[in-house]
Amino acid sequence: MSQENILEVENLVMHFGGIKALNDVTFNIKRGSVSALIGPNGAGKTTVFNCLTGFYKATGGSILLNAGNKQTSVVKVLGEKFKGSDFINPAAFAERVKYKMFGGSHLVNRAGLARTFQNIRLFKEMSVIENLLVAQHMSVQRSMISGILNTASFKNSEEAALRKAFYWLEVVHLTEFANRLAGELSYGQQRRLEIARSMCTNPEIICLDEPAAGLNPSETEALASMIRVLRDEHNTTVLLIEHDMGMVMNISDYIVVLDHGEVIAKGGPDDIKSNPKVIAAYLGAEEGEEVSL
Ligand SMILES: Nc1ncnc2c1ncn2[C@@H]1O[C@H](COP(=O)(O)OP(=O)(O)OP(=O)(O)O)[C@@H](O)[C@H]1O
Ligand SMILES: [Mg+2]
């Protein structure tokens, strides 16, 4: 296992019926980097995220997540069926039942990976702070009994959750909106709240699906500095899908380019900008034509 890479994706394949959405996708993400997954509409970017985060179980290939001082095989975690020993060990049995009920995304989240969505998914009828508390309740294992009895340890964990929520609200500049309904926030503020919500689950890597979509230039600028803060001050690896090429080239250490479900280029921003295959695929230009990324 390579400590240098937080994520190792090898020969990832995803089929939907007859559609081959991903075909042998292979890339590594270095710990502590800001990396971007780019490509034209329909290239398969969100599908990669859905496989990484446990929303889909990949048809083939492997995804290794090196976080929390262990290695998690995402595809394997999702693929596990009930084993004989699960019926003897109550904890293993409960895990399996939970997986069958809720899917695998919470297991991947607990293993150290969090995500945001291309279409914002917040609890719009809940307050900003409640959204951050719910996220933590889903990722922390606590017993219902301690909640009913309101034990000291339960109260402490509630206070810790509140502290963490306010901490991240401050980082994303939303403290003054703590008691507003999430649905009342502007689009840009909701995108920042989604990032705060993901960070509340203590991820080592955060995957952002088009975080700059719908933002104006100054909001995009603020988002870019926030992403740098996550990497530089919170040791969080960031993997983002983004169509705003200015932002991608500006903040990325490493870029993976997908087209028609296949990786067509990998490298630093300068390599990618001048790669003819990328220019042709991404901008729909003929190879050799002069276009600037
Ligand atoms: N659940 C699904 N069932 C069937 N086909 C799907 C499903 N999810 C994605 N696809 C198909 O897989 C391909 C890749 O889609 P995906 O959403 O990953 O693209 P994308 O690169 O994120 O595009 P965009 O930039 O528009 O968000 C598309 O052809 C899409 O129709
Ligand atoms: Mg997408």
What are 89-125's pLDDT values in tens digits? Answer: 777 777 666 666 655 677 788 788 888 887 888 888 8
> Does residue 228 lie within any of the structural domains?
yes
Percent of the chain with pLDDT over 70: 83
The whole-number pLDDT of residue 111 equals: 80
DSSP secondary structure of 64-77:
EEEETTEEEEHHHH
Q: Which atom of ligand 1 is nearest to the CA of 49?
A: 18
Could you tell me how far CA 209 lies from the centroid of its own chain?
A: 7
Residue 259 scores a pLDDT above 80? yes
Tell me the best of 47, 210, 242, 245 to mutate to test the pocket of ligand 1, counting ligand atoms within 8 Å of each CB and taking the most.
47
Q: Which atom of ligand 1 is nearest to the CA of 243?
A: 25
What domain range is 251 assigned to? Answer: 1-112+203-293
Domain termination residue (choose one: 201, 219, 238):
201
Q: Please tell me the least confidently modeled range out of 44-48, 66-70, 147-151, 212-216.
A: 147-151
Six token digits for residue 214: 């719908």
> Does residue 13 lie within any of the structural domains?
yes
Mean pLDDT throughout 124-136?
A: 90
- Is residue 102 domain-shared with residue 160, that is, in the same domain? no
| Nearest CA owner, ligand 1 atom 17 | 46
The whole-number pLDDT of residue 157 equals: 75
Any idea how long the chain is?
293
Phi, psi of 257 (to 5 degrees): -110, 125
Residue 142 scores a pLDDT above 60? no
Phi, psi of 72 (to 5 degrees): -110, 130
CA of 250 to the centre of ligand 1 (A): 26
- Is residue 210 domain-shared with residue 193, that is, in the same domain? no
Residue 36 is part of a domain; what is its CATH number?
3.40.50.300
The whole-number pLDDT of residue 78 equals: 66
The whole-number pLDDT of residue 109 equals: 81
The whole-number pLDDT of residue 42 equals: 92
Six token digits for residue 288: 């050799």
The whole-number pLDDT of residue 73 equals: 85
CA of 277 to the centre of ligand 1 (A): 21
- Is residue 213 domain-shared with residue 170, that is, in the same domain? no
Residue 3 scores a pLDDT above 80? no
- Its pTM stands at 0.86
CA of 46 to the centre of ligand 2 (A): 4
CA of 16 to the centre of ligand 1 (A): 10
Question: In sequence order, what are the beta bridge partners of 8?
Answer: 28, 64
The ligand that comes nearest to the alpha carbon of residue 17 is: 1
Does the Cβ of 39 fall within 6 Å of ligand 1?
yes
More confident residue, 291 or 93: 93
Residues ≥6 apart with Cβ < 8 Å to 206: 113, 114, 115, 116, 195, 198, 199, 230, 236, 237, 238, 239
Does the Cβ of 1 fall within 6 Å of ligand 1?
no
Does the Cβ of 119 fall within 6 Å of ligand 1?
no
Q: Please tell me the least confidently modeled range out of 54-58, 108-112, 125-129, 234-238.
A: 108-112
The whole-number pLDDT of residue 269 equals: 96
More confident residue, 92 or 223: 223
Q: Which atom of ligand 1 is nearest to the CA of 21?
A: 12
Domain termination residue (choose one: 201, 231, 265):
201
Residue 249 scores a pLDDT above 90? yes
The whole-number pLDDT of residue 288 equals: 47
CA of 121 to the centre of ligand 2 (A): 14
- Is residue 213 domain-shared with residue 99, that is, in the same domain? yes
Mean pLDDT throughout 195-210?
A: 94
Residue 43 scores a pLDDT above 90? yes
User: What is the tally of structural domains in the chain?
Assistant: 2
